[in-house]
Amino acid sequence: MEWISDATGVRRVVSRARARQLTIGLVPTMGALHAGHAALLSALRPQVDVLVLSVFVNPTQFGPGEDFDTYPRDLAADAAWAEAARVDVVFHPDASVMYPVPPQTFVEVQGLDRRLEGAVRPTHFRGVATVVSKLLNLWTPDAVAFGQKDAQQVVLVRRLLQEMLWPTRLVVVPTVREPDGLAQSSRNAYLSPAERAAAPVLHRALSDLEQAVRGGARDARRLSAELARAIQGEPLAQLDYAVVVDADTLEPVPIMAGRVLVAVAARFGATRLLDNCCLNISGADVQAVMP
């Protein structure tokens, strides 16, 4: 496994791969790897020749007062995950490589970046779109993998690829969960024991909604109100949103039909957690799908 930290190293690996007609797959992460990240690596491993893991805690996607300084960093553990997943290259740049001068150039996916998470974190997706663009420019990957857990990120990256004419294939990987249903997240490490015990309410409430839809419920407003009530029933959960939206536009929908994303965000103490389910509904047929 090779470690690379600057643009020259990237260009060396990319030209070597291209000369041998090898395909490149990229998994962008902020490190503190867990089984969710490993699932992205395993999904891409058989699809590409050169598997690249990037580990970069991207400052521009954190707002003022957010957890950039305290975000968990554990490069030794990340290296072990990477070895186990048969990663070929770990890209671990300093901020000065990704942002060589104080940034004046940003990429925005307007509209999508202000919905759901964007309403609470107004500059978050500008930071995401900018760093993903830089990674795509550097690595020119054939495929890139993102997790369903951050469904809005998936929707936004899909749009970014389409509009910026990148031919990169987007691979979306289902959310990996703890045995009690909690979505794996680097931020779960922040939870107190009581908050950790309360957090599975998000997945439980989403599963109940999915069951109701499978049972024939189609009124999205009523379903999202029930979803919100279920989460608010947990005293340690502070609900930010519980919404039913179109899976491409992220605009609220009145009835459950077509591809809909059911997304929730709640705070447990100082820790914000996200979860979602995505359903494709056609008449009586209800399928769980990727965003």
**Residues near ligand AMP, by CB under 6 A:** 29-30, 36-37, 39-40, 146-147, 149-150, 173, 175-176, 183-186
Catalytic residue among 34, 37, 124, 203: 37
> Quick one: 93 or 147, whose CB is closer to ligand AMP?
147
> Quick one: 146 or 220, whose CB is closer to ligand AMP?
146
* Contact yes or no for 227/242 (Cβ under 8 A): yes
> Quick one: 29 or 224, whose CB is closer to ligand AMP?
29
* Contact yes or no for 111/239 (Cβ under 8 A): no
Q: Closest approach of Cβ 130 to ligand AMP, in Å?
A: 14
Whether 37 is catalytic is yes
Q: Closest approach of Cβ 51 to ligand AMP, in Å?
A: 14
* Contact yes or no for 275/264 (Cβ under 8 A): yes
CA-to-CA dists, residue 90 to 33, 42, 52, angstroms: 13, 15, 6
Q: Closest approach of Cβ 274 to ligand AMP, in Å?
A: 9
What six digits make up the tokens of 152? 């809005």
> Quick one: 27 or 230, whose CB is closer to ligand AMP?
27
Q: Which helix (H) or strand (E) holds 151?
A: helix 151-163
* Contact yes or no for 89/1 (Cβ under 8 A): yes
Q: Which helix (H) or strand (E) holds 129?
A: helix 124-139
How far is it, in rounded angstroms, from Cα 128 to Cα 62?
9
What six digits make up the tokens of 209? 């909604």
Q: Closest approach of Cβ 72 to ligand AMP, in Å?
A: 10
Residues that are catalytic: 37
